[in-house]
């Protein structure tokens, strides 16, 4: 049984609740345990995963958050840098699923977050578990 840490940015709590629902359901359906920690925003997710990975208490990680395009360049910074941070961790061999939505508007986020629609939270959890299985298989 794997221990999975979900790191979520609560900036859009109502959207994150949907992502969390999907991620937790996928992890539980696979027979694994999970914990959830909260960080202020998507930029903090990779740092929190890195800190948690150092403890050795978790086998895989899921990053969840929502970034909605606004009127400034900030959207690009948050979207690109959070993805870059998670990719760097993955390249270091940490099994991680990226469930940070980067969307134009709330309607897109709702469609992607809802477990009965695109279920991106569940997909991110399944990706983390798939990478954990691959890591185990490769030894």
Residue 43 in marked binding region:
yes
Query: Which residues are tagged catalytic?
Result: 74
DSSP bridge partners of 52: none
Is 105 one of the annotated binding-site residues? no
- Ligand-binding annotation for 132, yes or no, is no
Any known ligand binding at 112? Answer: yes
Of residues 34, 15, 41, the one with CA closest to residue 128: 34
The CA-based dihedral angle spanning residues 21, 23, 24, 27, taken in that order and rounded to the nearest 10 degrees = 150
Two structure tokens written together for 101: 């939505």
The whole-angstrom separation of Cα 48 and Cα 73 is 24
Residue 67 assigned as binding residue: yes
68 labelled as ligand-binding? Answer: yes
Q: Which residues are annotated as a binding site?
A: 11, 42-44, 66-68, 71-72, 98, 112
Binding-site residues for 5-amino-6-(D-ribitylamino)uracil? 11, 42-44, 66-68, 98
Annotated binding-site residue numbers for (2S)-2-hydroxy-3-oxobutyl phosphate = 71-72, 112
């Amino acid at each position: 049984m794997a221990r999975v840490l979900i790191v979520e940015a609560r900036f859009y709590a109502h959207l994150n609740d949907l992502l969390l629902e999907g991620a937790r359901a996928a992890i539980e359906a696979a027979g694994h345990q999970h914990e959830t920690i909260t960080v202020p925003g998507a930029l903090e997710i990779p740092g929190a995963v890195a800190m948690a990975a150092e403890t050795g208490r978790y086998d895989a990680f899921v990053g969840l958050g929502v970034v909605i395009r606004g009127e400034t360049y900030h959207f690009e910074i948050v979207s690109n840098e959070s993805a870059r941070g998670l990719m760097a961790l993955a390249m270091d061999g940490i099994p991680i699923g990226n469930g940070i939505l980067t969307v134009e508007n709330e309607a897109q986020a709702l469609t992607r977050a809802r477990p009965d629609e695109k279920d991106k939270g569940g997909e991110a959890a399944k990706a983390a578990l798939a990478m954990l299985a691959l890591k185990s298989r490769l030894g």
